[in-house]
Chain A
């Protein structure tokens, strides 16, 4: 894929295409329907701006925001106060504080100030929001909606309370709205394909895996929120200058309901979907609004139905969620190849990295780790080393404490005592998203991929975390996909891959981090013998090519005996053996743990 400013060229051309389409539609409406058409076109363009500002956060993070309409309100009032004619302001807002009064700025200056306001409120609201769990965050945005609404109604001296705020000059013409819509289309698409956008989409698909490749999910959400809120306040400012007169309830539930319906019906996960949803529903709403007063169809007369547009939006939303959960457009973005049907773009060229010179003797060291859950000792003073350039196998019967140990190593579980260190860093004290940057990558027992991202995006997200620019990251990702035999399917969604391929894709993603150590958590679980054989071959090749320390947890004895240079055996939270596969195989304690002895059984019956 060719890049321009680290963003795929197809993103730029796609955004240009989309802008052209929107412009043709808007100008066509004006030419066909005159003044009414111009008004409708301006409204639709402003809705595109607003819904895209929502999509920047909600589409990429997967957290639906109910608060955006209120933030638009802040923008509308802020900009309106600035552009309002001084005389009109005196009569409408006699008690306005002096520092807010009589600015009479132009639209651009007002927008600039509004953007600053947007950043400030975005930061203030984003700090708490980013700390919330995904489920609570949506409700948190709902709280913002109500808080801001209450404040707008309460600040009577500035906003006229719940009364109409009037006298805002109608500066948002069709051309202003069109320019804004085109800018937003570019902004939203570039954001989606940027490093931050990709990280955020990865976290949307799987938060745990995103942290494991080094994405700081909170930070990504915070930054996207601030960007999104800034755009929303600007959208609100333009909307305010289109309406001319408005009140807080214009920026409350009905507005956000409309926007969310547009976003979902078109497709939450793509910019093209958001734009398509706006255009489609805008016309549906327009038709329903005209039908609201009653409709004469010639043979029957439909009665007046109050709230018909809301009813239509509700039904559209329901039908979409039932029939097409990804929205009408789905995951694909509009791009030149949408029309040419020569869909296959050239894959990026694989890049073989210069092997990094590692400090010799670097080691992943588990020291005296103990974990207690209440009265249960899950791990009891476990110590062992994982050296570079070797495969260390970790085995043990069910309940031995393997999973707990892995969680401690990867920073997901704090040990009761003891430490895990890697090149001077104490892994067991780092937050989960820092573990990767220290040099430990992992795969998961229950595969965690970014299902609605392509295979390439899955791996690029990791390669970018290792500090590479997009172009290099894509090359590295292709090389890793190639190693795992997945290169031909680089452009397919990870969710569509078969089980064995998913396992290998996860390994490719972990390798793209250029880790010093790789932790494979039951890599062959659920694989058939042929798939296992391919995996073993890939891992043996990897061991030969890269200076890498590998820790494998596995139930498949033959696989682990074949692959491991050294083995550690856990049972009931204790290390019962350590050594070469041959030593372990013949160790009486290991045999007892796995097979049991007659005396042991006898004891159980006796007790």
Chain B
């Protein structure tokens, strides 16, 4: 009972992290058509900001907020420096730009900070378990699910209730019309990147909480998974990104739990084969995006 519940919890919390990352990718893709390879480096920025915060004994809540803000700031900065000059380019050129940005940032981290992992000591409350009657559940996965939920709710409120949020949803459907309405395109794009960076920052915190350390490559693997999640969900579709994230996280945990010992090293291969099967079944993803502006 314990184990099953624990696995369910793990699946949901991992799926949540993927969902947040995939959402960050989808927010940007829906508006500027960029599949942002450098998203993982935004996670790394948040990780290092948290590391520095803890190092200088900044109160934890403040350090967490700073870390998320750092990722959002870095996202806006990359947009300003690298992606804005490319606004009119096609999807392939944008993808390659972010590919290059990602490689450059990684080298900068390796040289500027350290190629080795840096430990991030977290409060002991997070490393324990929570006892709910007879079941003991890990505190980190529980906190992680909570944070994911709150982030999703806040994001939904932002997109549905605020003017900027509505402008962003409109931009996702038709960017040209948005401009005709007299809304400043650059601001919408900047906010989209900031939002995407903040989502990367939040997922970085959850990731670091599970790992206890940061290194220059920490964002690489999770964001790779997030790509896959965003594509299964339907590129540029926000509900799709969330669905894709959870599908991927749950599939991974299921394979981890139920594959025979000998097949475990091939887990990712199995998972990705499932992904390809989903894509063959639905080439545009589970919940395709509404606009077809790149057709």
Contact = CB atoms under 8 A, between A and B. Distances in A.
A342 B276 CA distance: 51
A384 interface: no
A151 interface: yes
Interface stretch (A275-283, A317-325, A366-374): A317-325
B268 A150 contact: yes
Interface stretch (A5-13, A31-39, A128-136, A480-488): A128-136
Given A307-B107, A322-B85, A154 B269 contact: yes
A310 B103 contact: yes
A67 B285 CA distance: 21
A311 B103 contact: yes
B82 A318 contact: yes
B228 A260 contact: no
Contact of A306 (B103, B110, B279): B110
Contacts of B92: 62, 64, 138
A318 B279 contact: no
Interface centre among A128, A313, A318 (most CB of B within 10 A): A318
Interface in B58-100: 82, 85-86, 89, 91-93, 95-97, 99-100
B70 to A, nearest CB: 22
Given A314-B101, A321-B89, A308 B95 contact: no
B224 interface: yes
Interface in A252-306: 257, 260-261, 264, 305-306
A430 interface: no
Interface residues of A, number: 39
Interface residues of B, number: 44
Contacts of A140: 231, 276, 279
Interface in B242-295: 265-269, 272-273, 275-276, 279-280, 283-285, 294-295
Contact of B96 (A136, A142, A264, A310): A264
B274 to A, nearest CB: 10
Given A143-B275, A318-B82, A133 B93 contact: no
A314 B279 CA distance: 31
B112 to A, nearest CB: 10
B119 to A, nearest CB: 21
State the main secondary structure of chain B at its contact with A. helix
A220 interface: no
Interface centre among A132, A139, A260, A322 (most CB of B within 10 A): A139
B166 to A, nearest CB: 24
B104 interface: yes
A325 B87 CA distance: 13
A96 to B, nearest CB: 17
Interface in A316-352: 317-318, 321-322, 325
Contacts of B102: 314
A128 B280 contact: yes
B203 to A, nearest CB: 19
B115 interface: yes
A538 interface: no
Given A132-B283, A147-B268, A154-B266, A257 B275 contact: no
B111 interface: yes
A138 B95 contact: yes
Nearest to A316: B100
Given A147-B272, A154-B266, A321-B100, A314 B82 contact: no
Nearest to B89: A325
B86 A322 contact: yes
A66 to B, nearest CB: 9
A325 B93 contact: yes
A92 interface: no
B228 A306 contact: no
A317 B268 contact: no
6 contacts: A135-B91, A260-B96, A264-B96, A313-B103, A314-B104, A322-B86
